[in-house]
Each structure stands twice: as structure tokens, then as C-alpha cells.
Structure 1
Amino acid sequence: MMDAGDDYLSPSPTLEETFYLISKKNTVYRVKLSEKGLCLQKECNGNIKTQTIILEDVIGCRCMRSKRFAHKCKWRPRSSKKGCHEEVNENSIDWDESDVSAYLYIYAYILKKGKVITHRKRERMIITLRFRSYDKYDDNMHEAQKWRVTIKYLMSSIQQSSLPPCFFKSHDIRIENKVLVIANPKSGVGKAREVFQNKVVPIFTEADINYDLYCTKHALDAQTLMRTTNLWEYMGGVVVAGGDGLLFEVVNGIMERPDWSTMFSQIKLGIIPCGSGNGLAKSISHAFNEPYDQNPVLVSTLNVVHGISTPLDLVRIETKNKIIYSFLSIGWGLISDVDIESERFRSIGSQRFTVYSVAKLIGLKTYKGRVSYIPAVSEQLVPNDDCDTKSVVSDEGRRDSFYSIASKKSAYHSAAGSSYESLTEENVRAFGPSSTLPPLSQSLPSTWTTIEGDFVLVHAAYPSHLMTDCLFAPSAKLDDGCIWLCYIKAGISRAHLVQFLMGMSNGSHIKTPEAVMIPVSALRIEPESGQLTVDGEAIELSPLQAEILPSAAQVFARA
């Protein structure tokens, strides 16, 4: 309960203020804040320049005091130059007592357009407003806090947050929902921790994101964590800093909970691309026309801090011995061989796929088996949910490798010497939706389409991209309720196969004569040789069937 004497501020629908630069005479900045955004109007010697920062580009703001006199109002992108004043928290004792001004820092990442669309990028901007209309610091800070409260209120309206609609406490405006970040130190070229510390943490700080960080110590660690942790503490979302394989563990860990249905409906999933492929992160940005290639980590982090989500299809996969859940792809044949056998070259990043593709073309193989499918229809399959959805709270309590952002020490758990070999898992009960397909051991009805023979590759994807530079399913949407099945039978020339592989970078591979791309709602693969992969991870070679689970999860996106 809050004391009656606490200072509360009501957000205003519109705020306007005029700011001046002492260093530039005859220069006036008129700033207007409304639900449309932040309008910045510069008037200098009769010339007027106007710029509007939309609220969707603003990630946070905070009130500060400054040690050193500097520019009093600016809207240009800020660089780290000597001579600029040092930022000091409003509650810090290290401030200039003679300066009664209050400063409001507004952090935004605006979209800068290049001469061509591929040159678009997000650029950091800090708008600094100095409030000094009053003789007392407390009065000036009160004005700055009024702006801060209104900005937070307008931002929360966009995010459809559960924040109170009328009143906000001036000194505690942050969204309290905590985010769980799971980092894999071995992802990609092994720099996930450095990427998170240097590129993600500063943005989280600007946006007042409250989070816990967990560094995985071995394979399937994230899956165990999701199964045993009290996820009600992390209604802000679960974000992985790693590759698609780490998110694969998170999804399957949640599916091993009795309350899986509730968790998927309540928790948003996110990914900071630190792996080799990063197919889902690219697909999310592609779906909303975000400039991913210029700065993948920045774009993906901004998806998280905005707190908005979009539905994501999942796929239920049944093999002879287990049930798994997928969000990216199923593969058999050439592409799967390249994915798995190039693991030894993961230190060179995504280039390992190109290098090994050339090697596999020289010794091209074919794979004998049978592929069956149900063509997609407009009606989406609805999973049958007959499981208990009561929450399970972990008895393990808080793990030692969790660290809060509030700690001034390193937010990382040392993974030195950690083993990344699979651990022996006790039998874990799989929950999740029940299947609508015939049992894997039974023959398929005549309504299925079946192709038999020798294949060069069979690959099925649900989002658009398999990797950052692989537009595998150009027509795919994140929640279209389709599995995009592609297959090539034996007999294709090497020239056409090279055309196919090179065309995957821009989606033109589907024009290769021997390539067949079909939207399906379910499929069965019965291989006799080769390797099977799910989301880039190898699984046992056995008959496999899969069915779409439309909009089963939510992912952070600039929807």
C-alpha cells in the first residue's frame, strides 16, 4: 500500500514546452508531446525545422541531474564526445548543487532510410530536455517527471499494458513484469555473453527493462529450466540470447509442463540472434519490414523492449520414440546433411553452410524413402487441449546462476570448464496438445498425397527464413497455419541444383524446374537413409510425422 503523502502525477493528454539554447541566440525549440508522438520544432532566425518522433520508436526515458554544463536541448543523434556533461541519476549525491535544473533524457531508435531499401537502419537518438523554469530543483524535477509520466503512459497504451490508466507514481514508473534472459555462451562463434553485455544491456537500461539472466551450462539446460522454473515470475517474457537451438529447448521445456497451454498464452518469447543461422530472428524482422541486416542484435532487442507480440505457428512432431515441438523447420537430405556435418566449422559462423554446400555438391547423394502430406486448406487445424493447466511452481527455488540487473557486479555466471555434452535425463512426461493425425504405426488414409522414390532433399519450413541469408519460403507468414514443404527428387542436374542453392538467398530457388514447393497442414516422412533435423538439430532416423499448431505461441515483434 502507498502512503498518502506519496507524490502522484496524472498523465496529461498533451504537453507543450519551449526550450532555449544559451549558446545559440535567437534559437527556440518548441516541443509538443501527444499520443501521436514527440513533435520537435526548431526556430532559428525565422527558419523553422520540424521533426516528429513517433512513440513506437521511443523505448524509454529517465530524469537526471548533470555534473557539467552542456547543450541544453538537442534532438540530433548523440555521440560520445569529450566535454559533454556526465549523466547523473536524479537520486545521486554526485551533482552540482548550484544547478537547480532537471534533465529529461528520452531514448529513441528512429528508422533512417538509405538510397536503397537494403541500406535502411535504426539509429539511436537521445532527446535531452532541460527544465529550469523554477528557482528550486524539486519544482523543476516535478515538471520533468510530469513529462516522463506522460511518455510512459502513452507508451503503455501502445503496448496494451496492464499499468493503471489514471495515475502513476512519479518515482516508480517502470513496468514491473520481469523478463527472463537465457544466454548460451557457446552459440555461434562463442560470443553470446559479450554481445549481450555490450549491445543488449545498454538498451535494456534505457528502456527500464527488469530482467534476470541465466547462462546455460550444458545441453538441454534451458529445457530443464523451463520445465522446473516458476514462470509466473517472468510474465514480461522469456528471451534467448543464442541460436535457434536454444529457443528450441525453451519451447520444448514449456511443453513439458502441465500448465503449458496457460504459459504459451501468457508468456511472450524472444530471440537475440547470436547463433550461426538465426532463421527465426530474420523471419520476424522480414515479416514487419525491419532493417535486420544492418544491425540484427539492435533490431531484435528493440522488438523485446517494445513489449508487443505477434502469433507464431508451432509444429507438433512425432517420431518412433518421442514427441517434440518445432518453430522453424524439418529436414531430410542435402540441406540437413550440410547443417549437421558443418557443425565442426561453427567457429567461422554462417559461412560454414556455404563451404559445406560446395563439398556436398561434389559428392552428391540421393536418399530413398516416402513423403506424404495433406495439402493446406483455409481452415486451420485446432489442437485438442484436454490437459490440466494448473501452474507448477519449482521446488528448486532461485538458481545460483541468476543475477539481477540491480547488481553492480557482472551479470554473468562463468561457464568456464562447463561441459556441453548431453546429460542423462530421467523420464520426463510430455504434455502439449494431442495429435489429430493417425498413429505413426498405422497406414495413411487415401486423402493423403504420397510420393515415393529417391530424393535429393526434402525440407519443410514454417517461417520465411531458415537462416539470415536464406529466404526459403517467400510466401510464408509467421501465423499462416501452413508448413511449406519443398522437395527435389533424384535426377536434377548439378547446374540446376547450384541454381537452387544460390536462389535460396532471395527466394528465386522455387523457380528451379525440379523443385516442388507445397503448403501443407501435415506431413509424414519415412526415410531409409540420411539424416533428419528439426530446427537445425539432428534427431534419430525413423518415420516422422508433423502437424501445424496455428498461432500456438507469441513472439516479440514490432507488430
Structure 2
Amino acid sequence: MEIKSVENSPEPQILLEETFYVLSKKYSTFKVRLTRKGLHLIKDAEGIPKEQIILLKDIIGCQCLRSKKRTTNCTCQSLPRSDSLQVVEENSTDLDDTDVSAYLYVYAYIFQGRKGFSKKRERTIITLRFRSFDKYEDNNKEAQRWRCAIKKLIKGEPLNSSMLNDYLSVVHHKENRRLLILCNPKSGAGKGRQIFQQKVAPILNEAEIPYDLYMTKNSNYARDFVRTSNVFQWTGIIGVGGDGIIFEIVNGIFERPDWSEVLKSIPIGVIPGGSGNGLARSVAHHASEPYFPSTTLPSTLAAIRGYTEPMDIVRVETVSNILFSFLSVGWGLLSDIDIESERLRMLGGTRFTVWSVARLIGLRSYKGKLWYLPSSIPFSNTAPSLLNDSLNKGSTLDLPTEVHLETQQGRQRLDSWYSAHSRRSTYFSTGGSSYQSTTDSGLGDGDNCTIRNRTRRMFGPASQLPSLTAPLPVEWKCIEGRFVMVTIFETLFNVLIINTFLGACILSDSFR
């Protein structure tokens, strides 16, 4: 393996390069190159080179593993011995000392399909088996160099040849982020915990992102947790659930005296597990990420990548309360549907459709006055441009979801199409993650009942609008009568400017 410098070349600079072999096909070789653009897989089949690029922005992480000892069957058994290779972590007690190979697993989620609803991300695993040397330590050193380079490129950190040659810095490379995850197990159809365990935790483990997981136990648990905890020990807050848990997190932050510092340094993310998931779908749409049938994958990938964009927050003031809204403020029909359909929560998102029909049959109207200040800035209803598909022109490879390549060695090699983590694997935390119960945090039933009954003090920027009891200037307009509904959708003006993984909030007083 060698590091080439081609700074004067118009082609992307090659940081690392190696030749691997696909043993299931005779005379089939892959030249693998790592550039700042991504992982280039160049296949030479019968003298016709074909190239596939796994873009760096689609790679979430990589791990170095080692082969596992084969179990010896009893002589009285006639079951055939499996030839499939298993791998374990390097510190496992089940290592196979006869296999000196080091395995580098690169995890990527690449776009499939052209556009529209057919567009989706598919999990792809690139397995690079390093076995050019006679000792595992030497092969592992080469694999770790690749791992270090990929990790630094993903995080946007500077990378040079001396870093790749410094074995100690490679071995001790650790993730410096740690996420706080607040999961509502009762969200949506009551599958919040299942969504996290089956769909979110495996991806966090592939990216080696450590996290602390807390399950909410009652209403306002997330709000009180964020309000009373030292949130600066985490680098981000993720809410797993519906829009309600993000509402609690946001308002919990504004109940802190240091709310401004929290918003500047701690981004907030959402992984949908609710019934409507309006915020998560709006974020995914803006980022041109596929969100049908579910936004779980793009939301998790956004949290892993740590992308941040500002988001507007609306300050809502009533006679007795102050709240902060991030998606919409409603009164009338939509509010009735949202609140009254709670009795059908087991239906998931279908509950909104069912109760909408019921409320339309028995349509209500409400008498009221709506005061508003006409905007002097015209609203431009310009939809966010869709991200162009990153498709390689010319001849490309049709890669399966798992690709295993290995370096050359003088002895016979086994079939190489297998992976450490298949779709059926049981996932576990590899980043020192911890799971906490509600009682561990000091916010159990007894304490939380006391907290919820206290008078809440809301901080945040002062309102620039007249108070509710003060007369309004002549510029304000009034609509009086009976209303079916009044709804202010912040999605149209604010949420669509979000990219992914919500960042520090820019506040605006746009509703009274």
C-alpha cells in the first residue's frame, strides 16, 4: 500500500490505494482508491474497467474486526460445517489465531432509484480484507490506516500523510461526540422503544456514535429533564417520538436561565416515532431525502452527520402562559382533530383520518376575533430545489448490499462474499453507550409530580408585540366572526429553511 500525491493532477487526490480480489469469480480484481470524494471501486473484468464511487457523504462509519473461532461439531453429528466467516471485536476472547487477516467494514447508505417515491437509500457494506502480511498486527495496521482516513474525511478534519503513518494516533482515534437521546416509548402507535432498538441503535453503532438513552415515563418528562440537567455534557439532543417530545425539549430549554448558551452550543434533532411526524417530514423534504414510507433513516443519518441549520421559533403568549412553537399554532378544527383523536392512538397516523371524517360530519364553528399585522415583505412561495442525484456517468457497477474484497496472499483464499453485520444481525452498542431508567435521573413519579405542579418560569427573548391588554396600533387589522379553524403553519415560512439535525434557533415574534 502506498500514499500517492497527485496535487497537480485534475483527478481527485488519491490518499490510499490497494488491490483486492473477489474470490468467488476467477481473475476478478478490484482496485480500491480513497479520495476526498469517496471510495472508488474500480473493477477490471476481462480488460474492461468499470468504476463505482461510494460518495463520502453517503458513508457513515467503519470498523476494524477480526475473525472468530469456528465451533467444532461433535463426532456424532452429521450436520455440515458452515463455511461462512464470522468476525468479532479485537478484544473478544473468541478470536481465531489461525486467521491473521484484518477486516475493515465500511458502512454506507446510498441512493437507489431515480426520483420521486421510488428514490430511497439502501444499506451497503464494503468489506476490505487485509491479508498481505504474515502477522495480524501488520494487517491490522493497514486496516486502521484506512479507517482513520475515512473517519477524518467524514468529520471534515484535516488529513495528511504523517497522520496516516502515525499508528498510535490511528489506534487511539475515538469519537468525541456523545448524544443525549430522549425516547417516548408511547409515541405514535406505542412503538417508540421498538423503533429506536431496531432502526436507530444499529445505525448509531455502525457510526460508533456513543449516546445516553433515557425513556420518558410521563407527560413533560423530557421538558423537566432538559430544564434540570447539565445538558452541556452532551453534544446534541435527539428526541425519538412525535412532534410532542420536540415541543417538550424546546420549551424545557426556554425554562433555563442559560437558554441562550444552550441554543448556541447544543443542536436539537428529531427521529420520528409519532403519528404525524410533521417536523421530521418537513426537514427530510427540504434536504431532498426520501421520507416515504418513513423518515426514520434520513433523520438518523442527519443526527450522525451532525449537520446543523438555524430554525425559527414562534413565541406564543396567552393570558396565563407563554409557550414556544416550532411547527404550527392552531385553533378550531385541526386542534380538535389532534386532541380528540388521542383516544385512537393505537391506530397511529390513521387516527387523524378517522377523526377528521367524524369532525367534518359534525362540523363546529367558533366565535372569535383575529388581529393581524399585514406584512410589508411579500412571501415568495419558492419550493426548495431538489438535490440532484449523484449518479456516475458511463459504465458503473451493480453492487450488492454487501461487498467483500481482500488483499492478495500466496495461499488459497476462501469465498469472500460475507459480512460482519447482515440485516439479521443482533446489534449492540460499541460506543460505550448507556441506557438509563427514569428513576436513575431523579425525575421519577414522586419528583416529577412536584415539578409539574410548580409555577413554570419561561425565559427567552422578550416580545416585541404589544401586550394582550394594551390597545393595538391602527396598522393592525381585525377579522371578527365565526371560524371553523385558524392555523398558522410555521412550515411554510420557517421549517422549510432547515437542512437536517436542527441547530441553534433564530427567534421571531410572528404570532400573537
Shift of 1:49: 2.2
Q: Deviations over 1:124-178 (max 9, x none)?
A: 00000011111111111111111011101111117x99xx999782223232221
Q: Label 1:192 to 1:128 Cα distance change in 2 as closer, same or farther (>3 A).
A: same
Whether the 8 Å CA contact 2:227–2:252 is kept in 1: the answer is: yes
1:96 aligns with 2:115: no
Tell me the amino acid that sits aligned with residue 29 of structure 1: F
* Counterpart for residue 21 of structure 2: 20
Q: Label 1:84 to 1:120 Cα distance change in 2 as closer, same or farther (>3 A).
A: farther
Q: Deviations over 1:57-91 (max 9, x none)?
A: 1000011112379xxxxxxxxxxxx8532221123
Tell me the amino acid that sits aligned with residue 352 of structure 1: R
Q: Label 1:25 to 1:256 Cα distance change in 2 as closer, same or farther (>3 A).
A: same
Whether the 8 Å CA contact 1:13–1:150 is kept in 2: the answer is: no
* Counterpart for residue 430 of structure 1: 458
* Counterpart for residue 292 of structure 2: 293
Q: Deviations over 1:425-463 (max 9, x none)?
A: 222322111111111111211222221111111101112
Whether the 8 Å CA contact 1:222–1:250 is kept in 2: the answer is: yes
> Mean Cα displacement is larger for which, 131-140 or 247-256?
131-140
Separation in 1 of the partners of 2:28 and 2:473? 77
Shift of 1:17: 0.7
Whether the 8 Å CA contact 1:120–1:294 is kept in 2: the answer is: no
Tell me the amino acid that sits aligned with residue 25 of structure 1: K
> Mean Cα displacement is larger for which, 316-325 or 19-28?
19-28
Tell me the amino acid that sits aligned with residue 169 of structure 2: K
Q: Deviations over 1:221-261 (max 9, x none)?
A: 111111111111012x1001111111111001111111111
Separation in 2 of the partners of 1:447 and 1:422? 45
Q: Label 1:452 to 1:479 Cα distance change in 2 as closer, same or farther (>3 A).
A: farther
Q: Deviations over 1:496-547 (max 9, x none)?
A: xxxxxxxxxxxxxxxxxxxxxxxxx7566xxxxxxxxxxxxxxxxxxxx2xx
Whether the 8 Å CA contact 1:192–1:242 is kept in 2: the answer is: yes
Separation in 1 of the partners of 2:46 and 2:457? 73
Separation in 2 of the partners of 1:65 and 1:265? 42
Shift of 1:102: 0.8
1:449 aligns with 2:448: no
Shift of 1:364: 1.2
* Counterpart for residue 340 of structure 2: 341
What secondary structure does 1:437 align onto?
coil
Separation in 2 of the partners of 1:38 and 1:357? 49
Whether the 8 Å CA contact 1:371–1:523 is kept in 2: the answer is: no
Whether the 8 Å CA contact 1:373–1:523 is kept in 2: the answer is: no
Correspondence list, 1:7-86, <5 A: 14-67=15-68, 84-86=84-86
Q: Please list every run of 5 or more consecutive structure 2 residues that lacks an aligned counterpart in the other structure.
A: 6-12, 71-81, 380-427, 500-507
* Counterpart for residue 194 of structure 2: 194
* Counterpart for residue 478 of structure 1: 497
* Counterpart for residue 137 of structure 1: 136
Q: How many residues align?
A: 425
- Of Structure 1 and Structure 2, the greater strand share is in 1
* Counterpart for residue 121 of structure 2: 122
> Mean Cα displacement is larger for which, 418-427 or 19-28?
418-427
Q: Deviations over 1:449-502 (max 9, x none)?
A: 2211111111011125xxxxxxxx8x962369xxxxxxxxxxxxxxxxxxxxxx
Tell me the amino acid that sits aligned with residue 227 of structure 1: R
Q: Label 1:375 to 1:41 Cα distance change in 2 as closer, same or farther (>3 A).
A: farther
* Counterpart for residue 305 of structure 1: 304
> Mean Cα displacement is larger for which, 91-100 or 165-174?
165-174
* Counterpart for residue 231 of structure 1: 231
What secondary structure does 1:144 align onto?
helix
Aligned-residue sequence identity (percent) comes to: 46
Q: Please list every run of 5 or more consecutive structure 1 residues that lacks an aligned counterpart in the other structure.
A: 1-8, 70-81, 381-403, 465-472, 481-520, 525-544, 546-559
Q: Label 1:28 to 1:54 Cα distance change in 2 as closer, same or farther (>3 A).
A: same
* Counterpart for residue 248 of structure 1: 247
Separation in 2 of the partners of 1:339 and 1:137? 60
Separation in 1 of the partners of 2:146 and 2:361? 64
Tell me the amino acid that sits aligned with residue 446 of structure 1: V
Q: Label 1:523 to 1:62 Cα distance change in 2 as closer, same or farther (>3 A).
A: closer
Separation in 1 of the partners of 2:127 and 2:226? 41
Q: Give the RMSD, CA atoms, in angstroms.
A: 3.1
Separation in 2 of the partners of 1:431 and 1:264? 13
TM-score, normalised to structure 1, is: 0.71
Q: Label 1:295 to 1:333 Cα distance change in 2 as closer, same or farther (>3 A).
A: closer
What secondary structure does 1:98 align onto?
coil
Q: Label 1:299 to 1:64 Cα distance change in 2 as closer, same or farther (>3 A).
A: same
Separation in 2 of the partners of 1:39 and 1:165? 21
Whether the 8 Å CA contact 2:371–2:478 is kept in 1: the answer is: yes
What secondary structure does 2:310 align onto?
strand
Q: Label 1:377 to 1:209 Cα distance change in 2 as closer, same or farther (>3 A).
A: farther
Whether the 8 Å CA contact 2:28–2:43 is kept in 1: the answer is: yes
Shift of 1:13: 6.3
Correspondence list, 1:259-298, <5 A: 259-298=258-297
Separation in 2 of the partners of 1:407 and 1:169? 18
* Counterpart for residue 185 of structure 2: 185
